[in-house]
């Protein structure tokens, strides 16, 4: 009897083909995330589940699937949607998709940074509104990056990739995190390790690349924003709840920081309404990994993880 594999939302066909070699595949084709009852109903009898970042994976989902469940493969590098201890203690393997989205996410982070510092979104909105304009030396001035300091919170693979792009723009690199980066990384990037408080106080741009944990939830709150320079910018391409969006909107409205660029949101897909009213905010709908090549590679890696576990091999990228 074929093992049952449930995919909670459509994925590229190349990933489905990998899964078909491992079992009978059921792809949920609805246009939107499944509700918790719908998700639990969909996974009943599954030996493997391919999940998305909006799917809550916990003990209740494992119980709904049944004792035959072997693996949950999350199509994301982050896994804050998964209660990993609750799932793994029930003998279920959890995997994610690190590595394959590093460059795409770094490109997007730097694109958002340019968008907010050079007022590109604001300028496009002006033209699309057919507002009159004319060139002059004081028109829609932005902020240059050369010689400025990029403060990176979380110098992992994506943080390092952003730092390399920043170095090409002539920026200086500072970083903070739970542990120091290897000496060779610090040397390559000429990066200074700072405590968070000093990084916030001195950086011209603060870019977030940390995972969402209980320690990083609302890491950037009203106090952190008040510590930043009034000329500084915040970029978030990590997870939305790392930033207190209401506090951010207030800081931006009051001019306590110069601008923000966000690809992720605290209550995604909802966005704090006050942010949408501000011209000094650049926003994108979670596009960090959104290239054909990257999203395909993510889905295929998740599928290969499923196939490995179902045939009794070690997963390629296990969590925990």
Longest dimension (CA), the chain: 73
Of 239, 256, 295, 304, the active-site residue reads: 239
H-run or E-run covering 123: helix 120-128
User: Mapping DSSP to helix (H, G, I), strand (E, B) and coil, where does residue 14 land?
Assistant: helix
Beta bridge partners of 283: 262
H-run or E-run covering 260: strand 259-262
- C-alpha distances in Å from residue 139, one per residue of 118, 128, 136, 277: 12, 17, 5, 21
Known catalytic residue at 20: no
Q: Are strands 149-153 and 93-95 parallel, antiparallel or unpaired?
A: unpaired
Of 20, 26, 193, 286, the active-site residue reads: 286
Known catalytic residue at 286: yes
Helix, strand, coil shares of the chain, percent, nearest 5, are: 35, 15, 45
Encoded tokens for 44? 């009943």
Beta bridge partners of 57: 82
* Residues marked as catalytic: 239, 268, 286
């Amino acid at each position: 009897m074929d093992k049952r594999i449930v995919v909670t939302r459509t994925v590229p066909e190349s990933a489905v083909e990998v899964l078909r070699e491992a079992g009978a595949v059921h792809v949920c084709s609805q246009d939107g995330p499944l509700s918790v009852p719908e998700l639990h109903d969909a996974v009943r009898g599954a030996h493997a589940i391919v999940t998305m970042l909006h799917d809550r994976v916990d003990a209740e989902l494992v119980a709904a699937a049944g004792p035959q469940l072997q693996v949950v493969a999350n199509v994301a590098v982050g896994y804050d949607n998964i209660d990993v201890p609750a799932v793994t203690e029930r003998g279920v393997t959890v995997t994610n998709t690190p590595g394959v989205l590093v460059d795409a996410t770094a490109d997007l982070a730097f694109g958002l940074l340019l968008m907010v510092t050079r007022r590109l979104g604001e300028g496009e909105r002006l033209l699309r509104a057919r507002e009159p304009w004319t060139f002059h030396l004081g028109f829609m001035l932005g902020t240059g990056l050369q010689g400025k300091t990029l403060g990176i919170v979380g110098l992992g693979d994506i943080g390092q990739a952003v730092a390399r792009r920043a170095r090409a723009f002539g920026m200086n690199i500072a970083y903070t995190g739970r542990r120091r980066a290897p000496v060779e990384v610090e040397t390559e990037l000429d990066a200074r390790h700072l405590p968070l408080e000093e990084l916030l106080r001195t950086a011209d741009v603060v870019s977030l690349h940390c995972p969402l944990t209980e320690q990083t939830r609302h890491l950037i709150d009203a106090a952190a924003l008040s510590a930043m320079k009034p000329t500084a910018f915040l970029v978030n391409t990590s997870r939305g709840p790392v930033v207190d969006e209401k506090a951010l909107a207030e800081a931006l409205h009051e001019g306590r920081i110069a601008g923000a660029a966000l690809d992720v949101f605290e209550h995604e897909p909802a966005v704090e309404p006050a942010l949408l009213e501000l011209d000094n905010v650049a926003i994108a709908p979670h596009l960090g990994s959104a290239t054909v090549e990257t999203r395909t590679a993510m889905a295929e890696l998740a599928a290969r993880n499923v196939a490995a576990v179902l045939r009794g091999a070690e997963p390629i990228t296990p969590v925990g």
